[in-house]
Structure 1
Amino acid sequence: AFCAADAKWITGYRKGVTVGLAPGGIAKVWISGPCVSPIEVTRVQGEVVKEGPSGGQTNGKYALPLEPETKAYIEKYGVPYGSW
């Protein structure tokens, strides 16, 4: 690959992984490296796990209690999955 940073031809390799998160539970993964174009490896759609946190061991509740402000927000607006 031609590296514009130092105007030299190099034998490039990819050594970086980037995970991008988007609204609606979508994630994309790219591999990249110096002076080479990134390659998209995958795009995946997340889903809500019905067992809840801890794989169902806590009856769908978080092991730690929520802060009062957080609990009030969730009770009023729900969990904002679409904002991720």
Structure 2
Amino acid sequence: MNSEIWAISENNTSVVEAALSLANDEGKQLKLLKTMITFVDYYLFLYEISRKKNESELQILAQEVATGKAIAKVLEIVNLEKKKL
């Protein structure tokens, strides 16, 4: 069976085995366990990048909120000073 057809068929065993089949079809001769470990490592790497990106976005958001609060406080003080005049 053609490896690409096997990869998309309902009865294939797993995505990792499909990837292994396609890689070996190209002559890479990978072993299943090595492929599974690489597959898991790759997705852990992507997860870590995603998590760090989210943490970074949260830090930026916190800074923006703090800046917004500081600006609001300054405007409040300016308005109070204007009322005194």
Q: Does the TM-score normalized on the shorter chain lie above 0.5? A: no
More helix by share: 2
Q: What band does the TM-score fall into relative to the shorter chain?
A: under 0.3
What TM-score does the superposition give when structure 2 sets the normalisation length? 0.20
- Structure of greater relative contact order (alpha carbons < 8 Å, 6+ residues apart): 1
More strand by share: 1
What TM-score does the superposition give when structure 1 sets the normalisation length? 0.20
Larger radius of gyration: 2
